[in-house]
Amino acid sequence: MSPPPSHGVDLVVRPTHRRAGEVHVIVGPMFAGKTTALLRRVMAEADTGRSVAIIKSSRDNRYATDAVVTHDGTKFPCWPLSDLLSFKHKFGADAYQKLDVIGIDEAQFFGDLYDFCCEAADLDGKTVVVAGLDGDYLRRSFGSVLNVIPLADTVTKLTARCEVCGNRAFFTLRKTGETQTELIGGANVYMPVCRQHYTNGQGVSVTKEATRIAFETHVVQNDLVLETAAAIV
């Protein structure tokens, strides 16, 4: 039996040659090396000849406004943006078409992270590498990072070293009394801790603060003693 007429419509599904997209997620507490792992992955892709770009939140200006910077000072140029879905327009349609790999640092600050990853990987065939905090200082989901795990090809959970005992640290403890979820800061505000020292965290924070105050008081008292002695002489 001959096939039915196609009426001029090509019924053959022709394969496309566009590379399939990927999503890779890197999470962990602060000081776990998430940005370092992101840069390592993106730079490895660039070494194979692929075109790469990195995006970070414009709110994160701790070390530089136009570069992703690790805690040990390694830098890589980036696009500081307030939202991800504007990236294609700002990067340029032609340049975006040629782009292979997109890295996203501090991903917890992007509310449109899920939609961007869907579009970039599923529709545009990009490899997207996401790095961010999985939890806030209260160990609650932070931003949309955990939402993209169902989209991910791989998920890497990094750990830091507990600042109190040196064991593996899974959590981020806030040293200050602020209670808002988004509080951008470094070692002056946060410390990585293990489970034991997270649950004892308030005591640790109070002890550290008390130690600092006692030290500063001791220094002031010594200065006063020296000034008094000098005045007597």
Asked if residue 204 belongs to a domain, the reply is: no
Asked if residue 230 belongs to a domain, the reply is: no
pLDDT at 18: 65
pLDDT tens figures, 52-97: 999 999 887 766 778 887 767 778 889 999 999 999 999 999 999 9
Q: What is the CATH number of the domain that holds 133?
A: 3.40.50.300
Asked if residue 206 belongs to a domain, the reply is: no
List, by residue number, the catalytic residues: 106
**The two three-digit tokens of residue 81, written as one number:** 């943006």
Please state, in angstroms and rounded to a whole number, the distance separating the CA atoms of residues 151 and 230. Answer: 70
| pLDDT band at residue 28 using 50, 70 and 90 as cut-offs | very high
Residue 101's identity, in one-letter code, is: V
Count of structural domains, the chain: 1
Q: What is the pTM (predicted TM-score) of this model?
A: 0.76
- The phi, psi pair for 166, rounded to 5°, reads 90, -5
Which domain covers residue 87, as residue numbers?
22-158
Burial of 100 (0-12, 13-18, 19+ CB in 10 A): middle
pLDDT tens figures, 106-128: 999 999 999 999 999 999 999 99
Asked if residue 49 belongs to a domain, the reply is: yes
Task: Answer positive or negative: Cα dihedral of 77, 68, 154, 151.
Answer: negative
Asked if residue 170 belongs to a domain, the reply is: no
Asked if residue 86 belongs to a domain, the reply is: yes
Asked if residue 8 belongs to a domain, the reply is: no
Distances from the Cα of 94 to the Cαs of 34, 47, 89, 91, 98, in angstroms?
30, 22, 10, 9, 7
pLDDT tens figures, 145-176: 999 999 999 999 999 999 999 999 999 999 88
Asked if residue 148 belongs to a domain, the reply is: yes
